[in-house]
Amino acid sequence: MNKLILIPIFIVIAISAYVLLTPFTESVSEAPSKLIYENDFTFYDVDKIQKSLAANGISMSTPNAITDHTRKQYCAFFDEKGFQKTVEYCTTTALVSSNGKPIGNLNLGGTIDDGPIMALGVIDVSSLNSKRDEVRIVFETMVETLVCNCWAQLQPGDFESVSEWIDTVEEKYLESSQSTLKSKISGMDNKDLILEITSDDESYLWTFIIIKQV
């Protein structure tokens, strides 16, 4: 049975240390229309993500719907004013590497009628250097499927790729004395992208959150 990793998102975000990495804040009025993609992702996009990850040796389980109080453990997030938001409907899937070991989860949260407003991917690693390919593949796939296949064109935050953003956040984390560090890119196709690293005594969690700006 695939392992599902419960993530207390409200705790992680509350203690996060912000790192200023030149956030992308281009508005609709300033951006050429050809750069506005408006990818209004849905729960059905899980199928696209599943196929893309499978092509890279990562399998994903069938989504498991959660509607009870435990959904805050899978799909809770904070809005721009710092208030915790709990979605009405949440789906969670387990991610498994090519060697058959669970590496994390990918969750979508929102409402049944209107679809998801947030996506969350998490990879559990024993050290920051481990599972780097899996971290990159999962987070890049989330961006390309749920935001747009436009990173190289827009280069938000002056990062040429998602991989470069990941590397930079890791460097800042190693320089920091904080147990949790967060970097945010705001405004990419009217979405907020949040990348986090947090640690405990035994492992690290890479967390990537995409939130629609509403």
What are the residue boundaries of the structural domains of the chain, listed by start?
9-212
pLDDT at 30: 30
- Predicted TM-score (pTM) of the model is 0.82
The mean predicted confidence, pLDDT, of the chain is 80
pLDDT at 38: 55
pLDDT at 9: 37
Which of the residues in the chain have pLDDT under 50?
1-37
> What is each CA distance from 84 to 11, 75, 89, 142, 212, in whole angstroms?
10, 11, 15, 23, 15
| Cβ atoms of 8 and 73 closer than 8 Å | yes
